[in-house]
């Protein structure tokens, strides 16, 4: 149809340079090319990863860039060859694509894809050009999705159609924060009933880990944060103990070993810090414990750990988006949400108009969301 050839002028939040506040600008969004989808954004979450981008932690993402990677919207138009979605469909956009063809997509055990940014940068679309421009300059995409815009263009394999009944302002959280944390417990750790879990960091991701541990039947869930304001929600979601490392004289791993005997069966790092990663590793149970790394430490950071921690049998795993193959899993997660199998609403602390995106990032920095 004709609409497919039109450039759309709309608002977007542009990060012009590292460390600068985002600037809400009028941008041009070019029509989708073959295999691409243009989406009218309806809702987006804010995740720590957006703030990390703004601070320049992503080595392979060029500025200026439109951040945002946790969004839901409605398909406006599709490029040639797109078959899985059509204009008017409600969709969720995600940053670990599922091309369906690479060796990782073909492996049922993996949710990685060779199109993901750890392999090649997702700051331009697969044909190496961008669909965004502003004031005559090309603006880059963020992990392809760039949800801090009224319209965005993504490859078909970075979106999944959702149930038409899904409230987009809630299910946008199924694009990153919730599946990452919940899947860390369910898919990566495969938490067993009756086990003891410890979760470091109680942002949206850590709280979702708590939900996953609870759903898997953990009998003890120890939630750890330096911000005690996070404890009420953690308890509501299933944490049995909430502790603040600053309340103790000794290192937090010693506190946890003291509380559990030989360490927790499963530990999760969702704070994105090197010291909590080391503490999570050290506080999981000797011989049988599993430590899952969820948080993103600063780019280029290195970690030193005692190799005996691993030699003695512990397992140490990472996780991208909770291990879900996103195109396959998002529709199922939406159905589970609609069947009230988990509570996303509790993760929503504030709802702001899009133009207040800097206030949203400020709430994140202040630990209020």
CA-nearest of 105, 71, 73 to 91 is 73
Question: Any idea which residue has 């919940």 for tokens?
Answer: 182
Q: Which is nearer to ligand NAD, 264 or 294 (CB)?
A: 294
Q: How many angstroms separate the CA atoms of 306 and 257, rounded?
A: 17
CA distances to 202, 236, 351 from 363, in Å = 15, 22, 11
- Based on the shown chain and the rule CB under 5 A, indicate whether residue 47 belongs to the binding site for Zn ion: yes
**Candidate segments 32-40, 103-111, 183-191, 210-218, binder of Zn ion by CB under 5 A:** 103-111
x-marked contacts with ligand NAD along 52-71 as a string, rule CB under 6 A? x-------------------
Question: What is the per-residue DSSP string for 51-96?
Answer: HHHHTT--TT-PSSEE----EEEEEEEE-TT--S--TT-EEEE-SS
Choose from ligand NAD, Zn ion, none: what does 175 bind? Cβ within 5-8 Å by kind.
none
Which residues have a Cβ under 8 Å from the Cβ of 62 and sit 6 or more positions away?
121, 123, 140
CB 180 within 8 A of CB 205: yes
Q: Which stretch binds ligand NAD (CB under 6 A): 18-26, 98-106, 204-212, 299-307?
A: 204-212
Site string for ligand NAD, 287-326 (x = CB under 6 A): -------xxx----------------------xxx-----
52 contact choice in Zn ion, ligand NAD, none (CB below 5 to 8 Å, kind-dependent): ligand NAD
Peptide bond into 180 cis (omega under 30): no
Residue 97 vs 177, nearer CB to ligand NAD? 177
Paired with 41 in beta bridges are 73
Q: Is 155 in the site for ligand NAD (CB under 6 A)?
A: no
For residues 146-185, which are near Zn ion according to CB under 5 A? 176
113 binds, among ligand NAD, Zn ion, none (CB under 5 to 8 A by kind): Zn ion
240: closest CA among 280, 199, 208, 274? 199
**Considering beta carbons, is residue 78 or 180 the nearer one to ligand NAD?**
180
201 binds ligand NAD (CB under 6 A): yes
Contact, 165 vs 27, CB < 8 A?
no
Using rule CB under 6 A, residue 230 touches ligand NAD = yes
Instruction: Provide the binding-site residues for Zn ion, judged by CB under 5 A.
Output: 47, 49, 99, 102, 105, 113, 176
Instruction: Provide the binding-site residues for ligand NAD, judged by CB under 6 A.
Output: 47-49, 52, 176-177, 180, 200-206, 224-227, 230, 245, 270-273, 276, 294-296, 319-321, 364, 367
């Amino acid at each position: 149809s004709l609409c497919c050839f039109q450039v759309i002028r709309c608002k977007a939040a542009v990060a012009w340079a590292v460390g600068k506040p985002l600037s809400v600008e009028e941008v041009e969004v070019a029509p989708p090319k073959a295999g691409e989808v243009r989406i009218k954004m309806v809702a987006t979450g804010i995740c720590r990863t957006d703030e990390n981008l703004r601070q320049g932690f992503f080595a392979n993402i060029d500025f200026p860039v439109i951040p945002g990677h946790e969004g839901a919207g409605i398909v406006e138009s599709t490029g040639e060859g797109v078959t899985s979605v059509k204009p008017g469909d409600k969709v969720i956009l995600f940053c670990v694509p599922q091309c369906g063809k690479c060796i990782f997509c073909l492996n049922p055990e993996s949710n990685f894809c060779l199109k993901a940014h750890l392999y090649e940068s997702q700051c331009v679309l697969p044909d190496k050009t961008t669909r965004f421009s502003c004031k005559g300059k090309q603006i880059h995409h963020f992990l392809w999705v760039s949800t801090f815009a009224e319209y965005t263009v993504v490859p078909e394999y970075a979106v999944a159609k959702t149930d038409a009944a899904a409230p987009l302002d809630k299910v946008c959280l199924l694009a990153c924060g919730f599946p990452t944390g919940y899947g860390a417990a369910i898919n990566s750790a495969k938490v067993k009933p009756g086990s003891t879990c410890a979760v470091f960091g109680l942002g949206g991701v850590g709280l979702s880990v708590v939900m996953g541990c609870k759903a898997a039947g953990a009998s003890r869930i120890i939630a750890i944060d330096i911000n005690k304001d996070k404890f009420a929600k953690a308890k509501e979601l299933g944490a049995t103990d909430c502790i603040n490392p600053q309340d103790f004289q000794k290192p937090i791993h010693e506190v946890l070993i003291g509380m559990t005997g030989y360490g927790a069966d499963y530990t999760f790092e969702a704070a994105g810090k090197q010291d909590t990663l080391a503490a999570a590793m050290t506080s999981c149970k000797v011989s049988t414990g599993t430590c899952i790394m969820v948080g993103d430490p600063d780019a280029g950071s290195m970690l030193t750990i005692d190799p005996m921690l691993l030699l003695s049998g512990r397992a140490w795993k990472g996780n991208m988006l909770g291990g879900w193959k996103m195109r396959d899993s998002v529709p199922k997660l939406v159905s589970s949400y609609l069947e009230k199998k988990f509570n996303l609403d509790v993760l929503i602390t504030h709802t702001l108009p899009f133009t207040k995106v800097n206030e949203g990032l400020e709430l994140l920095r202040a630990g209020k969301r």
